[in-house]
Amino acid sequence: MDIYRAIADPTRRAILDELVDRSGQTLFELCARLTMKHGINSSRQAISQHLDVLEAAGLVRTRREGRSKLHWFVGAPLKAIGERWPISTDDSISDPTEEDNQQ
């Protein structure tokens, strides 16, 4: 699973937003947050499948705490995006139209 497909879906991006807000959530907490804060009324099963996709892409990790399964956001795989298309630190050459004007 590549990260581009994983983050292409708005529900999966909302899941990551909520896991950034608080690490270590159960499926129940995530579903409550998605319903109440994002108006996403997908079934628990659908959210669970979205989590599987995110986990396969390395963006979510799970761990058991007590008898509950908790979910964490892992940002490291997103570095590949910045490495593939580096963000220029020099603004003057990041915009080709500006560059033309200067010369």
Partner 1 sequence: MRLNLTGVFVDDQQKALHFYTEILGFRIRHNIPLGEYAWITVVSEEAPEGTELLLEPDAHPAVPPFMKALVEDGIPANSFAVDDVAAEHERLVAKGVRFVQPPTDLGTVITAVFDDTCGNLIQIVEQKGQP
Q: Which residues bind partner 1 (CB under 8 A)?
A: 22, 25-29, 32-33, 36-37, 44, 48, 65-70
- Closest distance to partner 1 from the beta carbon of 28 (Å): 4
- Closest distance to partner 1 from the beta carbon of 53 (Å): 17
- Closest distance to partner 1 from the beta carbon of 48 (Å): 8
Q: Which residue has the tokens 């579903």?
A: 31
Closer to partner 1 by Cβ: residue 7 or 47: 47
Q: Give the three-state DSSP class for 92.
A: helix
d(CA 25, CA 41): 18
- Closest distance to partner 1 from the beta carbon of 14 (Å): 14
Q: Which pair of structure tokens corresponds to residue 44? A: 């628990």
Alpha helices in 1-103 (DSSP H): 3-6, 10-21, 27-38, 44-56, 79-84, 91-94, 96-102
d(CA 23, CA 73): 7
